[in-house]
Amino acid sequence: MVVDQRFGLTDEEVDRIFHALADATRRDILRRSLEAPLSVSELAAFYDMSFAAVQKHVAVLEGAGLVTKEPDGRKRLVHGNPETLAKAQALMEEYEAIWRSRVERLEALLSEDR
């Protein structure tokens, strides 16, 4: 099952967050929607691919909780969600902390016998 449930996130949720971030187009969509909410078709205009493809990328980001879609007439405004971003950051800081604590243990060992 692989332990990884910190921050109230299941493995599957963390999988989805990092998978969503593992594509340059999706990262660009996330950046733009963090700057200001945009409709899906406004987003689609930026990329050299079909509307449906962009729609799928937005769906992946939405499934990861990185963006939300707010109905606005016939449009859906895509908003970036900084909360999920913060959770992912916290996750990565955990890894850094693990490494740092290892360095500290090694330093403690070294200072022990001097």
Contact 106, 72 (CB under 8 A): no
69 interacts with DNA by CB under 7 A: yes
For a second copy, the binding residue among 35, 109, 110, 113 (CB under 8 A) is 35
- Return all residues near 87 (Cβ < 8 A) that are at least 6 apart: 7, 9, 17
Nearest to residue 63, comparing CAs of 17, 30, 18, 8? Answer: 17
> What's the burial of 29, exposed, middle or buried (CB within 10 Å: 0-12/13-18/19+)?
buried
21 interacts with a second copy by CB under 8 A: yes
* Dist. CA 101–CA 77, nearest whole Å: 43
Considering the complex, what minimum distance in angstroms separates the CB of residue 114 from a second copy? Answer: 22
Contact partner at residue 112 from DNA, a second copy, none, CB < 5 to 8 Å by partner kind: none
For a second copy, the binding residue among 52, 73, 74, 98 (CB under 8 A) is 98
Contacting positions for a second copy (CB under 8 A): 2-4, 11, 14-19, 21-25, 27-28, 30-31, 34-36, 47, 80, 82, 85-86, 88-89, 92-93, 95-96, 98-99, 102
